[in-house]
Chain A
Amino acid sequence: MAAGLDNLKHIVVLMMENRSFDHMLGGLSLVTEKGQKKYPRINGLTGNESNPDTKGAIVKVLPNAQFQGQLDPDPDHHFPGVDLQIYGGQQGEGRIANMQGFVKDYFTQTNNVDRSHNIMSYFTPDKLPVLTALATEFAVFNGWFSSIPGPTICNRAFAHYGTSFGQVGMDIFYILDPIPSIYERMIQAGHTAKIYYYDQQSSTMEIVNLLKNQPQIFATYDQFISDCNAGILPEYSFIEPCYNDHPGADGGQVLASDQHPDHNVREGERFIANSFNAIRTNADLWKSTALLIVYDEHGGIYDHVVPPACTPDGYSAKASDTGTGAPFNFDRLGIRVPAILVSPWIPRGTVVPGTEDPANGQIFEHASIPGTVTNFFLQDDAKRTVREQQAKTFLGSLTDTMRQDDDCIVFGNLS
């Protein structure tokens, strides 16, 4: 086992909302230095990717993503909409995924051809100093996909349970099968785990656990900061950003930091940086923690990589639930999302290859989260789906060598 794994005591997952890989990190592939690509191994954009709009015009990816105001109304990311985005409107047997339906689908929200082009926007790296720094200083995954080509709740369920229990939408799901959440597994085995939600006004998207197990599994983000400072972080932590704008307890303003359109992306950057710094500035915690920053799904925003097939999880969603006229057997992943693993045991500039590298590529999805935590802390747990058991674990980029303290970044200007 690598020394980085021998020293690992804490896994922290920060799950953001609704942004695709190409939208947030795709611009890294276009950065040049002395005439050469600076990050040649990142599977981002060439600048020539395109989609047709509803008038048949070709719309190329656009380096004009804005922090706020550009993706309002909220792009469609429900199951039928994502089906259109992936297949470009093809129906029936034998259709081939081509990622050509994003602009057409956003037109259904905007009813405006020009505004429908905004779905092809991406951030230039200089606009996202936090995500850019983390992706280039630590490990970025070329092949991390949302678990379902659908919305938030079912995708987040995969991060907690390794399955959505057959759900492809936003409905409440009832746990009828004996598959405990990763938090329950950890606690039942004598380990420690917590979900840190931002505050009471924002609360959690993980309601079933909230009802079943409060309060020992839950704490607020303030507690996360305190636990980091005190060096008493649980073995496994899951952080939820703030999901809405609301007045603070002191009368101030609390901004949504989840980056869900149309929430401000820069506020999400600050939240990620703050979470990183909380770990980074405690020397003992820093050397013993792996922080995964990942997005729950793409939010309807363009990505060029075709989602691959996956191991079915034993459930099937009926045609009436998918809204596409066909059932879904959980045999294809959702659209690619940003995922970054942070640890001082990871060499600078690590890129974990994905589907672009058939020989060495590795495919990750949100079932990889409980899969990795179970594998690392519990070795195994019988009450898991086949999907989770076969999901790739994500700690492989931790090495035997810990980087010197002055070789690792820290974020400033956060107060």
Chain B
Amino acid sequence: MAASQVISVPKTDPSAYNPNRPAGKLLLSQTAHLREGLIRHLHELVGILAIDIRSLKTEGDVSAYIQMVTAILHPHGAKSPRR
């Protein structure tokens, strides 16, 4: 690419950085959405914690419970079912 025209991009003024800038409506809305997500997640957790593990009798019961908990603790582990 040596012959390509190179467009120089000016650097941003270092004084642009201002983490003390008041947060706008978009960012405040984003925090409200995230909080709502956390509440939904909490409901999911509460639902699982409400299960009395002494009620789990079969391997099917246990595996379903383990899957629910593991999905929360390690969501990267989700896989397509295999035969």
Q: Which residues of A contact B (CB under 8 A)?
A: 17, 67-68, 74, 129-130, 133, 151-153, 170, 172, 203, 205, 207, 210-211, 214-216, 243-247, 253, 255, 260, 262, 264, 266-267, 269-270, 273, 281, 405-414
Contact = CB atoms under 8 A, between A and B. Distances in A.
Contact of B8 (A210, A246, A262, A413): A413
Interface residues of B, number: 36
Contacts of B25: 74, 151, 170
8 contacts: A170-B26, A207-B34, A215-B76, A253-B14, A264-B16, A281-B1, A407-B4, A409-B6
Given A245-B21, A405-B1, A408-B4, A414 B9 contact: yes
B24 A68 contact: no
Given A172-B36, A253-B17, A262-B21, A243 B8 contact: no
B7 A270 contact: no
Contact of A413 (B9, B23, B26, B29): B9
B12 A267 contact: yes
B19 A264 contact: no
Contacts of A253: 14, 17
B1 A406 contact: yes
A34 B68 CA distance: 70
B13 A67 contact: yes
A411 B4 contact: no
Contacts of B12: 67, 255, 264, 266-267, 270
Given A405-B1, A406-B1, A172 B33 contact: yes
B11 interface: yes
A408 B2 CA distance: 11
Q: Which 3 A-B pairs have the closest CB atoms?
A: A406-B3, A264-B16, A412-B6
A245 to B, nearest CB: 5
Contacts of A270: 9, 11-12
A129 B5 CA distance: 13
A130 B21 CA distance: 26
A130 B11 CA distance: 12
Interface in B1-58: 1-14, 16-19, 21, 23-27, 29-30, 32-34, 36-37, 40-41
Contacts of A170: 25-26, 29
B10 to A, nearest CB: 6
Which of B12, B21, B75 has most A Cβ within 10 Å? B12
Contacts of B78: 216
A405 B4 contact: yes
Given A244-B23, A405-B1, A255 B75 contact: no
B21 A266 contact: no
Given A205-B30, A408-B4, A412-B9, 10 more contacts: A153-B29, A216-B78, A245-B21, A253-B14, A255-B17, A266-B12, A270-B11, A281-B1, A405-B3, A407-B4
Given A203-B34, A207-B37, A410 B1 contact: yes
Contacts of B7: 129-130, 133, 273, 409-412
A152 B1 CA distance: 38
A56 B43 CA distance: 55
B26 A243 contact: yes
B9 A411 contact: yes
A44 to B, nearest CB: 20
Given A74-B25, A405-B4, A406-B3, A264 B13 contact: yes
B8 A129 contact: yes
A266 B24 contact: no
A336 B27 CA distance: 23
Contacts of B32: 172
Contacts of B30: 203, 205, 207, 243
B70 to A, nearest CB: 14
B13 A266 contact: yes
Contacts of A210: 37
A207 B35 CA distance: 10
Contacts of A264: 12-13, 16
A270 to B, nearest CB: 6
A51 to B, nearest CB: 23
A261 to B, nearest CB: 8
A146 to B, nearest CB: 14
Contacts of A133: 7
